[in-house]
Amino acid sequence: MASAAAARDRSYIRAGALGGFGAFVESRNGDPAALLERAGIDPRALSAPDMLISFARKGALLENAARELGIPALGLEWALAIPPHFPNAGPTLLLKETTATFGEWIERSMGYWRLQTNAVIPQLVHDPESGVVAIRLSPQWPQPAPRQQMEHILGKIVRLARAALLDGELNPVRIRFRHEEPEETAVHDLLFRCPVEFGAGQDEIVFLAETLARPLCGQATRLEALTDEFLRHRIGLLQRYVPGVSTSTALAIRTVLGTGLCSKEFIALALGSSPRKLQRLLAREGTTYEDVLDSVRKDMACQLLADATAPIAAIAGMLDFASPAALTLAVRRWTGMTPSGYRQIMGPAAEAGSAA
């Protein structure tokens, strides 16, 4: 039991998972910053999607918000309110623009997910006999994740799947939750449109296996429109915005880091340009694509290392480094220290020591 509690305390997730939460709470006359503070989460997380927050505290945040705002199905209602570009799902919709099939998109999205949190591990579980496949979410402790948190995650995945396939009529075969059945399930029926099982052994979404083979229709025009939505969202979170090609490039890179899509070619396409034109425009601002990428990685690495939660290997993956060794070389170049050395000086333990 003690080890499970320790695992919950060490759980983390990128703060981008809170995207849209502030607007949703305000639409229900709530105070999102106050809710975060009461849950033990830094309110800056509402405007800093790249920082890390506690997954367990995020679960407590949603439970508290449901009670305080009087919204019994808050997790699902928030999932229904997410804008079409899904700002709290990272670049998963962007991934579909370079992916051939629904099954491949799920695998790539799960790979991205595993870099963003250590609390819930996604798996694709096949059952050939029944012709179904399940997206299963396995928490790293015995107890079920809080109801609102898990309902929000599964609701968001179902909406994402419909958006990826451009099929608003796509319905799962079944939804399973480990938590017990709530008194009212009307919102479950509205969102999932399939049988929902409570008190199950797993939290999972069950689809027909044939759905995995369905093609995705990646289009450059759609990619550019999606990227524009993400840039607008990121710009809205900035305290100070300096317009320019280098700024747009940096924001686009931040959006896709961790997906393997941060190449000059992909970013140029996402911005409606070509690699040569992008380099030419950046040169006019006195920089290069490589310099912008390096600067973004440096800023994010220093921010993530200053939080003692995520392993060095996970941070390397978040920043699209080929290996932890490559991250170590970069951090040495930026700071003159190893990642662990930088963390010792700049992390929470160092701050607590200096405060004492």
Residue-wise pLDDT tens digits, 100-142 = 999 999 999 999 999 999 999 999 999 999 999 999 999 887 8
* Higher local confidence (pLDDT), 87 or 53: 53
CB–CB of 104/5 below 8 Å? Answer: no
For 270-293, what is the mean pLDDT?
95
Structure tokens at 51: 């920082």
CB–CB of 82/162 below 8 Å? Answer: no
Closest among 262, 352, 260 to 306, alpha carbons compared: 352
pTM above 0.75, yes or no: yes
Give me the phi and psi of 175, to 5 degrees please: -115, 135
| Confidence class for position 348, pLDDT limits 50, 70, 90 | low
Positive or negative, the Cα torsion across 160, 140, 257, 25? positive
Structure tokens at 101: 């099939």
**How far is 119 from 138, CA to CA, in rounded Å?**
8
**How far is 277 from 244, CA to CA, in rounded Å?**
14
**Would you state the pLDDT for residue 7?**
55
CB–CB of 199/180 below 8 Å? Answer: yes
**How far is 161 from 104, CA to CA, in rounded Å?**
12
| Confidence class for position 8, pLDDT limits 50, 70, 90 | low
| Confidence class for position 319, pLDDT limits 50, 70, 90 | very high
For 296-318, what is the mean pLDDT?
91
| Confidence class for position 351, pLDDT limits 50, 70, 90 | very low
Alpha-carbon dihedral 226, 232, 233, 238, rounded to 10 degrees: 150
**Would you state the pLDDT for residue 220?**
55
- 3 state SS for 56-85: HHHHHHHHHHHHHHCCCCHHHHHHHHCCCC
Closest among 34, 50, 47 to 233, alpha carbons compared: 47
State the DSSP code for 117.
B
- Which helix (H) or strand (E) segment holds residue 198: the answer is none
- Give the tens place of pLDDT for each residue, 242-275: 889 999 999 999 999 999 889 999 999 889 999 9
For 320-335, what is the mean pLDDT?
96
List Cα–Cα distances, 333 to 2, 217, 328, 339, in angstroms: 40, 41, 9, 11
